[in-house]
Amino acid sequence: MATWQIAVILVKIFLIVGLFQGAVAYMILLERKIAAWAQDRIGPNRCGPLGLLQPLADGAKMLLKEDVIPGYVNKPLYILAPAIAIVMATIGFAVVPFGPAGLDAPTVNGNPIHFQIAPNVDIGILYVFAIGSLAVYAVILGGYASNNKYSFLGGLRNSAQIISYEIPLGLSVLGMVMLARSLELNDVMSWQDRNGLGPIPAWGVFVQPLAFLIFLVSAFAETNRLPFDLAEAEQELVGGFHTEYSAMKFGMFFLGEYLHVITVSFLTVILFFGGWDAPFLGVEDTSWIAAVLKVGVIFFKVTLMVIFIMWIRWTLPRFRYDQLMNLAWKALIPLALLNLVVTMVLIQLFRGVG
């Protein structure tokens, strides 16, 4: 690998990590603003113009707060847990394309510049899921190491929940994978762009509506957001797994959670909303202008998705633990299987269509 390639990758890493960490801070502000609007309030507005500096204040405070490590915790694990949370949430981005990557990547001197940190991983989806499920360790370890009953319950709930929802989540994307005949996320995107009936694009949400719903529900569960935030469940478990964490360790869990939301939003957009696909953009456009536009489109869609996820949080009540399990095992998994079978059959019947 040429040095410049490594340099490009490093630049991309810094860009992405920096961008998303910063984005997370502002997502928290956005969430608070959305909460305020949902509740007919104003929300933070004293810190800088329109409250835009609020995340900085929060960050400054968190960093300067005393970092309590209670005497009764299991110290190594207690410290490890938030680190896992944030690391796993961050490295998941390695294979997520945030613009054109693969065939339609723009070129510099004939060398394609992929808008993706690790462009040649051809099992992108698997990787994202694998990393995503590692994040559960953060919660379990945090809950266990805190030596606190609320944390413990939170950790337990979370492990069961994530393990259960992994299955429908995985099954629901298989349909798209089979259609695109690739596990690589940019292939899925370009498939959606290339196919389609006239003005209607072949976005996942249209060709796999059921899978989309299953994916959405499971994604909420995977990210621990209401109505599935049982691991934190403020009204029941005070803070759930992070009850005993203070200062930046708590902040890291928070960051991890929001990074997760970003990842999930990216996945949703890529798998079911055509990624960068827009009526005037196609795979064939490999110009830089098109690339920039594609990045814009994808970020725009992701933002919408993030807002949607937040909006739900401030609207719905929470499921109960057993209902959550029932939903996964008795509804989502059978439906996902059904969806899979139907998709397979259809693909076989209309070979050549996809």
Partner 1 sequence: MPTPPTTRPEWTIPIDPALQAELEKHVLVTSWDELLGVVDTIYNWGRRSALWPLGFGLACCGIEMICTASSRFDIARFGAEVFRGSPRQADVMIVSGTVTKTMMPMIARLYDQMPEPKYVISMGACASGGGPFKEGYNVVSGIDKFLPVDVYVPGCPPTPQALLNGLIALQRKIDGERLDIPALGRKGNTPWYDPEVDRDIPVPVFGPDLIDVRTLELTAERAAAGLLDAREAALPRPALIPAPRPEAPGPAPDAAAEPSPAPAAEQRAMSKIELIRARSRGEAVPGASAPTSAGKPAARPSKKLKVAPARPSLVWLGDEGLAELASRLDAELGSGTATIVRAALLVPAEKLLDVAFFLRDRNPIRYDYLASLQSVHYEDCIEVNYHLDSTARPGSLIELRVRTAEAEGAGEVPSVISVWPGADFQEREVFDMMGVRFAGHPNLTRILMWEGFAYHPLRKDYLEPYYEAPAKVFPSRIDDGQGQHRRAEELNPFGSNVKIPRSFSGWDRLDPAADVKGAGRMPEGTGVDVQELDTDQFVLSIGPQHPSTHGVFRMNLRVDGETVVGLKPVMGYMHRNHEKIGERNTFLMNFPFTDRLDYFTSMLNNFGYALAVEQLMGDDAKVPERAEYIRVIMAELNRIASHMWSIGFLLNDLGAFFTPALYAIEERELILDLFEWAAGSRMMCNYFRFGGVAFDLPPGWLDRCRAIVSDRLDRKIDELDRLLSENEIFKDRSRGVGLLSREQAIAYSAAGPVLRASNVPYDIRRAAPYSIYDRFDFEVVTGTGCDVYDRYYVRLLEMRESVRILKQALRDLPEGPILPGKKSYQIKVPAGEAYSRVENAKGELGFYVVADGGPTAYRYHVRSPSFINLTALETMCLGHTVADVVGILGSLDIVLGEVDR
Enumerate binding residues for partner 1 (CB under 8 A): 32, 35-36, 38-47, 51, 53-54, 56-62, 64-68, 149-150, 153, 156-157, 226-227, 229-230, 233-239, 242-247, 250, 313-323
Distance CA 51, CA 228 (A): 29
Distance in Å, CB of 58 to partner 1, minimum: 4
Residue with Cβ nearer partner 1 (162 or 171): 162
Residue with Cβ nearer partner 1 (93 or 253): 253
**Phi, psi values for residue 203, rounded to 5°:** -65, 150
Distance in Å, CB of 134 to partner 1, minimum: 25
Distance CA 226, CA 34 (A): 14
Residue with Cβ nearer partner 1 (185 or 221): 221
Residue with Cβ nearer partner 1 (273 or 319): 319
Residue with Cβ nearer partner 1 (101 or 226): 226
Distance in Å, CB of 37 to partner 1, minimum: 10
- How would you write the chain as a 3-class SS string? CCHHHHHHHHHHHHHHHHHHHHHHHHHHHHHHHHHHHHCCCCCCCCCCHHHCCHHHHHHHHHHHCCCCCCCCCCHHHHHHHHHHHHHHHHHHHHHCCCCCCHHHCCEECCEECCCCCCCCCCCHHHHHHHHHHHCHHHHHHHHHHCCCHHHHHHHHHHHHHHHHHHHHHHHHHHHHHHHHCCCCHHHHHHHHHHCEECCEECCHHHHCHHHHHHHHHHHHHHCCCCCCCCCCCHHHHCCHHHCCCCHHHHHHHHHHHHHHHHHHHHHHHHHHCCCCCCCCCCCCCCCHHHHHHHHHHHHHHHHHHHHHHHHHHCCCCCCCHHHHHHHHHHHHHHHHHHHHHHHHHHHHHCCCCC
Consecutive H or E run containing 36 = helix 3-38
Residue with Cβ nearer partner 1 (206 or 321): 321
Distance in Å, CB of 183 to partner 1, minimum: 34
Residue with Cβ nearer partner 1 (47 or 178): 47
Distance CA 37, CA 51 (A): 14
Distance in Å, CB of 206 to partner 1, minimum: 25
Distance in Å, CB of 92 to partner 1, minimum: 26
Instruction: Name the token pair of 327.
Output: 């939903």
Distance in Å, CB of 53 to partner 1, minimum: 8
State the Cα torsion 112-113-118-122 to the nearest 10°: -30
Residue with Cβ nearer partner 1 (49 or 198): 49
Distance in Å, CB of 238 to partner 1, minimum: 4
Distance in Å, CB of 141 to partner 1, minimum: 17
Residue with Cβ nearer partner 1 (218 or 243): 243
